[in-house]
Structures are given as structure tokens and as C-alpha cells.
Amino acid sequence: MTRPLKSSSSSSTTRRLTFVHLIFAATIFSLLVFALQSFFFTGSRVKSANVDDVRILSDFQSDVQQCVANRGFGLTAHIVDHCKLILKFPEGTNSTWLNPQFKTYEPLEYTYDVCEAVLLWEQYRNMTTILTREYLDARPDGWMDYAAKRIAQLHRC
């Protein structure tokens, strides 16, 4: 007994439905993976570390502001955000610092970026530590030979 052949339209409809189901399943899977990554990798631990850093920087700036107010000879410190701080001379102060290149007087305020200073310090600290270790490890007697020579140089000054 022979089977009747299916029509090509029902075959293509079945393929379309299968394709739509696969696309739908792939979309749901992608959204699930994205949700899991968002939950685990942007959790409260990262946010609390940033909040703690901002609080520490803000506390530091408040201390600087108080120190400038007490010992700054009239200077004032204005906090812009957790990184930026502006030191200003008192109102009515005349600038006597002439910039000879541009023939203008220097402004009576200085913008200080605490975050940039910390970053530069950290880069410098790491760089000198690495260079010192590499330098000392390459020497035949290591630190002992180097220390004696540095002490001798200091006594000559």
C-alpha cells in the first residue's frame, strides 16, 4: 500500500513553524543568559565598593576643606564632586602672577582632581616597585651590593 504524498504547502508551513519555534527558543535563551549575567556580575558587591570609594573621597575632601578654612590664610575650598575640588583666593584679591607668554594674569583659583592624583600615585608606585625588583634581581649580590653603594653615595653629598 502506498502512502499519499503530503502537499508542499503543508511541508513549508511545518518548516516555518519549526523555524519560528527555534528563533523563539534562541531569543528566550539569550534573554535568560543576559539576565543571569546582569544579576551576578553587577550585583551589590560592585555597587557597595563604588559607594565606599565615593564616601572615602568625599570624607577626604571635607577634611581638606576644613583644613584650608582653618589654615589657608583666606583660601577657600569648594567641592565640585567626589573627585574635583577648587581652591580659590578670597574675593578682592588681585592676581600678580603674569603669564608672559599670553600676557594675561593667572586665575585666582586652582582645580584639583583627587581621583587623578590617586591614579598617578598608584601608577608611579607600581612602576617603581617593579623596576626596583627587576633591577635588584639582576644584580649579582642583589640588595646588599646595591644598598652599600647607595649609602656611600649619600655620604658624599
What is the helix (H) or strand (E) element at residue 104, kind and residue range? strand 104-105
Per-residue pLDDT of 111-135, as tens digits, reads: 989 888 888 887 777 666 555 666 6
- b/e per residue 67-104 (b: at least 16 CB within 10 A): ebeeebeebebebeebbebebbbeeeeeeeeeeeeeee
What is d(CA 38, CA 44) in angstroms, rounded to the nearest whole number?
A: 11
**DSSP secondary structure string for all residues of 20-34:** HHHHHHHHHHHHHHH
In this prediction, residue 3 has a pLDDT band, given cuts at 50, 70 and 90, of low
Strand bridging mode 104-105 / 109-113: unpaired
User: In a 10 Å sphere around its CB, with 0-12 CB exposed, 13-18 middle and 19+ buried, how is residue 61 labelled?
Assistant: buried
pLDDT at 49 over 80: no
In this prediction, residue 85 has a pLDDT band, given cuts at 50, 70 and 90, of very high
pLDDT score of 129: 58
The model carries a pTM of 0.47
pLDDT at 65 over 80: yes
- Which residues on neighbouring strands pair with residue 78, listed in sequence order? 86
Cell of 29: 535563551
Per-residue pLDDT of 101-117, as tens digits, reads: 888 888 888 898 988 88
In this prediction, residue 155 has a pLDDT band, given cuts at 50, 70 and 90, of low
